[in-house]
Structure 1
Amino acid sequence: MTAMTPAGTAPDTISIDKAVKIYGSGPGQHVALNGVDVTIERGQFVSIIGPSGCGKSTLLRLIAGLEVADAGDVSVFGVSPEKACAAKMIGLVPQTPALLPWLTVLKNVSLPARINTGADRRRQRIGGHVGKNAPDMRDLLTKAGLGDALDKLPAQLSGGMQQRTAIVRAFGVQPDVLLMDEPFSALDEFTRESIQGQLLDIWDQMNTTVVFVTHSVTEAVRLSDKVLVMSAGPGRITASVDITLDRPRSEAMLKTAEFHHFEDVIRDHLQSAWRNGPLSSAA
């Protein structure tokens, strides 16, 4: 069953309504998601956290149009994920940077806009798209701490610098929504914290809606307006936590009692979800 965009869907939300995703059939059937409901407002930074195998990446792929729900509805700012993806309204940052090794940093981040010249025209025909001025890629690279690496090749960069380049490249196509699937998982803690700050600086400038998958409670609290907690067996949302910390969020904020309070709240939800799961596929 192919999910359809619900009539009258708000053009300022990402909406997932009773989404179900099943892999396989018979005894080997795996219910990855069952009855997932999510609403994400335009401009929000929302993190999804939960144990391995709970369906975080599957949920991200539904939004990206890379998977189709077996039941339920998914829409991205008033249109189907497939239509939003075709119009380049959606950007994706995977776990590995996937940079072109023969292009410099500046050319890598500038390439998507050059080869997708028709995307902006397609987006203009979609009511849920909000147009923006083309970003200055040199400025974005500088904000990401890459001002001295514009002419370097990917092989000359550290892992953290490569991932920052991939993030700037994704923002460069001016997506309405940016999906990030554990992009910092391979980095050390010090590098992660540094890149988190640079990501927040760019996000604040670009006003892009971000959906971010992570296993790190600290990362989720620092980055997010809202944290969705998932549980497995089958995958479902078990809690939604609004993070009301002031912005900007510096590394110093990570040491405050208020920050630790939100970490504790999310850890409690994760432990509760773990104790109460897994559930049967009929749940």
Structure 2
Amino acid sequence: MTAIAVTVAGSDSSGGAGVQADLKTFSALGVYGASVFAALTAQNTRGVTGILDVPPDFVTAQFNAVYSDLTVGATKIGMLSRTDVIEAVRAGLKRYQVHNVVLDPVMVATSNDPLIDDAAVESLVELLFPLADLITPNLQEVARILAVPVAETREEMSAQAVRLKDMGPAAVLLKGGHGTSSQSVDLLLDEEGEHWLEAPRIDTRNTHGTGCTLSSAIAAGLAHGHDMITAVRGAKAYVTAAIAAADTLEIGHGHGPVHHFHALWEKA
């Protein structure tokens, strides 16, 4: 059977993040990708200049169209900027008993432009965290959700991951990619305990869409039938390679995208 994953997220008109990055990631990893657009953004490598929310009834219409027809193996949820849209997504997840849900609580773009207000953050936590098989916040997003300083040590990351897991998700991947050490250190907390994942930190400004890419790569692994730890490890390796190859692209004048097709374009 063909592996299928769906992204429920906002667009990125420059193609480096959001739905566009998710679909590229699915394709690069051998998964058929479908989508539910929750918002449209006007953005490029320099920043976000506009956000147009998709009406919740049309989010529902897209959800019904996709999930009533396709056999979906995993779902990645990204930017949801309004409470009524979050409610529509929750209803869709429950209606179709969606499994393998990877929730990336996107709050700020790589350009530091805000993408979600405080009321929507509260709704995201209350309504969607309990339905998620995995949430993938970065250190700054965790700090906003928990109203605490950004974690600087492994002990602080561990304590914050426990608090997040107590909010309902089956597992938590706390991403340390925005840290300052020589290693990019992530923490996966699941029912078996802690799993620390490390990769060398790569010196590049072209990191636009890394969070979207990681979460969609995890969803791709789950759609292929991998268990959570295998999917997460594979996704981290893929994103690390995509970042390492980012400077081979010449896209825009700001924070360029990672190279989603680094392996395929080299062969071509």
Q: TM-score, normalising length from structure 2?
A: 0.34
- Flag the structure with more relative contact order, 1 or 2, with Cα contacts below 8 A and sequence separation at least 6: 1
- TM-score, scaled to structure 1: 0.32
